[in-house]
């Protein structure tokens, strides 16, 4: 099977997955109990006001037609109008999405090289005090929820030692350095969450390859352990490492809801929580669909990079 055929197959599966997720998002909103118009306007709303809002929201039309209109609009970047402030949803999400991407980029710039470096060192010094300490630290980090880690960092780095601000109130007028400074605490929280998984996967992938014949041959030639791992083991472990890195990068964008709420960070996650509390369903649907599309896109990118980095994945299974 050619590379292009594999890529087309992965792309088709990604589009199908996104279509299924869009059905779930729209169906979940439709399945909410009660009258949405009544929930938005409150119990004191008049029948005329309720009827007018239902017509405006399209609730007087069949659900299938409303889903098709919503999906076609979303494919074109039009998510409707917010029920809370009557602004276009796309205009509300645009700046928030840039903030979330900035936060995820800062966390990824710290987490990816740190986790791969720690994973290589743990594999190189397997069984040593450094390896055991790294395993305990990563297990502790994986077992701790994001909001708990965020509050711990606020306690030590914002309250007891005021190094960073506890509230990440950024705006477009700030300089890059100021934005980076105010984003550092939520970025460090996300780094602690994702570094552990990537580090352990890197260590496991490299250790799994150390028993391979070509690794044994390199050792018999007298090569130093660091050269054996960096030159021979690490390139062949790239496929699983790329997959776990891409999955964790997807989490950095789609899993920021709790972190953004803890630090009052003006991203898509904070907007999603605010919209849920206000029953602003067009914004909720748009945020969920953007999170799903980002996750599917990054997983598709992981598949593509894994195929390109490992020729064995291009061969059909027999």
**Amino acid 312: pLDDT:** 62
Asked if pLDDT for residue 318 goes beyond 70, the answer is no
For the segment 210-224, what is each residue's pLDDT rounded down to a tens digit?
Answer: 777 877 787 778 788
**Amino acid 294: pLDDT:** 85
**Amino acid 116: pLDDT:** 85
Q: What is the mean pLDDT of residues 166-190?
A: 89
CA distance 278 to 223: 63
More confident residue, 243 or 125: 125
Contact residues for 237 (Cβ-Cβ < 8 A; gap 6+): 202, 205, 206, 208, 209
For the segment 249-289, what is each residue's pLDDT rounded down to a tens digit?
Answer: 877 877 788 888 899 899 898 898 888 877 788 888 899 88
**Amino acid 106: pLDDT:** 92
Q: What is the mean pLDDT of residues 301-310?
A: 72
Burial class for 280, CB neighbours closer than 10 Å (0-12, 13-18, 19+): buried
* Residue ranges covered by each domain of the chain: 95-277
- pTM across the whole model: 0.82
**Amino acid 35: pLDDT:** 66
Q: What is the mean pLDDT of residues 48-70?
A: 80
Q: What is the mean pLDDT of residues 212-238?
A: 77
Angle at 254 between CA 248 and CA 258, to 5 degrees: 105
Contact residues for 229 (Cβ-Cβ < 8 A; gap 6+): 120, 123, 124, 206, 210
Which overall architecture, per CATH, does domain 95-277 show? Orthogonal Bundle (1.10)
Core vs surface per residue 219-241: b (16+ CB within 10 A) or e? eeeeeeeeebbeebbbebbbbbb
């Amino acid at each position: 099977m050619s590379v292009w055929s594999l890529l087309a197959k992965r792309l088709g599966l990604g589009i199908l997955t996104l279509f299924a997720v869009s059905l779930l998002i729209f169906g979940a909103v439709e399945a909410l109990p009660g009258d949405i118009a009544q929930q938005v306007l409150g119990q004191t709303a008049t029948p005329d006001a309720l009827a007018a809002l239902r017509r405006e929201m399209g609730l007087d039309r069949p659900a299938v037609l409303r889903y098709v209109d919503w999906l076609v609009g979303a494919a074109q970047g039009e998510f409707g109008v917010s029920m809370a402030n009557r602004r276009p949803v796309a205009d509300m999400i645009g700046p928030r999405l840039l903030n979330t991407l900035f936060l995820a980029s800062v966390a990824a710039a710290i987490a990816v090289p740190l986790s791969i470096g720690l994973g290589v060192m743990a594999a190189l010094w397997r069984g040593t005090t450094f390896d055991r300490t790294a395993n305990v630290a990563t297990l502790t980090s994986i077992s701790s929820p994001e909001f708990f880690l965020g509050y711990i960092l606020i306690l030590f780095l914002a309250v007891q030692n005021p190094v960073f601000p506890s509230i990440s109130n950024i705006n477009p007028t700030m300089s890059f350095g100021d934005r980076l400074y105010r984003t550092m605490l939520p970025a460090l929280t996300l780094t602690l969450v994702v570094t552990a998984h990537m580090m352990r996967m890197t260590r496991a992938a490299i250790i799994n390859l150390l028993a391979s014949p070509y690794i044994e041959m390199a050792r018999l030639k007298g090569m130093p352990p660091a050269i054996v791992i960096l030159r021979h083991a690490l390139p062949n472990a790239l496929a699983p490492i790329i997959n776990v890195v891409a999955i964790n990068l997807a989490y950095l964008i789609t899993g920021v809801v709790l972190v953004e709420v803890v630090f009052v960070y003006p991203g898509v996650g904070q907007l999603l929580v605010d919209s849920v509390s206000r029953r602003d369903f067009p914004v909720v649907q748009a945020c969920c669909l953007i999170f799903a599309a980002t996750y599917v896109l990054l997983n598709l990118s992981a598949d593509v990079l894994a195929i390109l980095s490992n020729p064995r994945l291009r061969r059909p299974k027999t």
